[in-house]
Chain A
Amino acid sequence: MKKISTQINGESLELEIESHWTLLYLLREKLQMTGTHSSCEMGDCGACTVLMDGKAVASCLVLAAEADGAELLTVEGLSRNGELDPVQRAFVKAGASQCGFCTPGMVMATKGLLAKNPHPTEDQIRHGLAGNICRCTGYVKIVDAVLSVAERDGD
């Protein structure tokens, strides 16, 4: 076992981990934070997207050991005082969720995208979310949702 110090959703944690654990495994299996979804585990689908030091990463391709000293944000950390994050609200309003499996990853990838580029064009949104697959193929409403946040809350 190895010790790491990390911050998850604003809470500082000292954790014991194994070298061969992925961040995704740590989140889901050890911390029971199952909002971050596990699917391809190869970095292809984006379901496991979290923010690491403000940037979107596939938590299946990050070692738990690499989270030492990092600030992590997962979908569980988005809402404040019972209020949904603007990105979450936009997804709800646009109906950008069919089966919902890809939604946490889409929402977190959107957070990462807007942090870099508050006013993305539709093309930039499609490229920015290219690493997230929706198995219902409901991309139109997802893009609509992101566009609505980009226009309203960009500044």
Chain B
Amino acid sequence: MIPLPKIDYVKPETLEAAVAYLADSNKQGIVFAGGTDILVQLKGQGPKCHVACATVSHEGNGDKVSQAERLIDIKGIPELKELKEDEKGSLTIGAAVTLDELARFCREHEPWSDLEQSARVIGSEQVRNRATVVGNICRASPCADTVPALVCLGAEVDVAGPQGHRSLLLEELITGPGALALSSDEIVVAVRVPEPGPDSALVYLKHGIRQAMEIAIVSVATLICGDAHSGVVTRARITLGSVAPTPIRVQAAERLLVKQGISRQTLTEASELAAQAAQPISDIRGSAAYRREMVKVYTRRAVEQAWENLK
């Protein structure tokens, strides 16, 4: 059997203890939640996603994992299992919440039904039963399936460290393939998602060859808020995955849709703007030119579908 390197394992019961382990300079620790990526990386088979999607370098958390001497299992910290709406309707997804738990929550809670798809299309049942939403985010893979929709929704992450708590926008957290705007002794505690609101529709489309166990060639999430009858768009968000070092928003297209509404003409223009914003690479999954073309197709499809869902 493929051996794992000899590595220490701890399971703190409080957030403070987890942060203390992270800050311990004697043994380099990494946060361990679902383990479905970290254990693959530790077995020495390399960071799969990065090979597929990285546009700049193959560094980042692949290195951090291979150098780790201690796994800090956060699943014993009760507050990290939190998955609930607050009084303002924002959703808190704790760092130990699995993809399966989020998918089921979304299916049972109407305001979040559009978010289910992002959690549902990752890996297999076996993976979704273990892998966490925050793990998917903190892997900082350009093709992370949960990120584009969460960015569209304006999600923030709560971060804890020796200096206390802070929060930052999800789109500011991910700085490159495998790279996060965190110091080594900080941990993402939760992702907080503002309620999309009744006059909004969120769509996530993932382009792959298979319908399951797939890494996106191109992915597009869009959030459209407005009134389909009067044709007014009050807010538009378009986020692309797998076509840049990080998931990227296409603000030029967002502005266009808000300014001019949704028509055949603006759909074409918005899709062109998305294709221009993409910085894809060629790899085993698709060429840069193909990816750019697919950005066009899927942006159009996603916005059309969201608009349709608003009706």
Contact = CB atoms under 8 A, between A and B. Distances in A.
A46 B124 contact: yes
A112 B59 CA distance: 36
A132 B124 CA distance: 8
Contacts of B39: 22, 43, 60-61, 63
B9 to A, nearest CB: 4
A116 to B, nearest CB: 8
Given A55-B100, A56-B126, A131-B123, 6 more contacts: A19-B8, A43-B36, A61-B127, A62-B130, A63-B71, A131-B124
Nearest to A22: B4
Contact of B1 (A29, A58, A132): A29
A131 B213 contact: yes
A20 B42 CA distance: 10
A43 B4 contact: no
B301 to A, nearest CB: 21
B212 A20 contact: no
Interface residues of A, number: 38
Contacts of A56: 125-126, 129
Q: Which of B11, B39, B73, B212 has the most CB of A within 10 A?
A: B39
Interface in A83-107: none
Q: Which of B5, B124, B210 has the most CB of A within 10 A?
A: B124
Contacts of A20: 3-7, 9
A62 B35 contact: yes
A61 B35 contact: yes
Query: Secondary structure at chain A's binding surface: helix, strand, loop or mixed?
Result: mixed
Nearest to B123: A131
Contacts of B212: 127, 130-131
Interface of B: 1-9, 11, 35-36, 39-40, 43, 45, 71, 73, 75, 100, 123-127, 129-130, 210-213
Contacts of A61: 35-36, 39-40, 126-127, 130
Contacts of B2: 41
B129 A55 contact: yes
Contacts of B5: 20
Contact of B126 (A28, A43, A68): A43
Contacts of B36: 43, 58, 61
A23 to B, nearest CB: 10
Nearest to A50: B126
Q: Which of B1, B126, B213 has the most CB of A within 10 A?
A: B126
Nearest to A28: B1
A113 B2 CA distance: 28
A68 B211 CA distance: 34
25 contacts: A18-B6, A19-B8, A19-B9, A20-B3, A20-B4, A20-B9, A21-B4, A22-B1, A42-B43, A42-B45, A43-B126, A56-B126, A56-B129, A57-B129, A58-B124, A60-B39, A61-B40, A61-B126, A63-B71, A112-B126, A127-B211, A127-B212, A130-B124, A131-B125, A132-B124
Contacts of B127: 43, 58, 61, 131
Q: Which of B8, B40, B100 has the most CB of A within 10 A?
A: B40
Contacts of A19: 6-9, 71
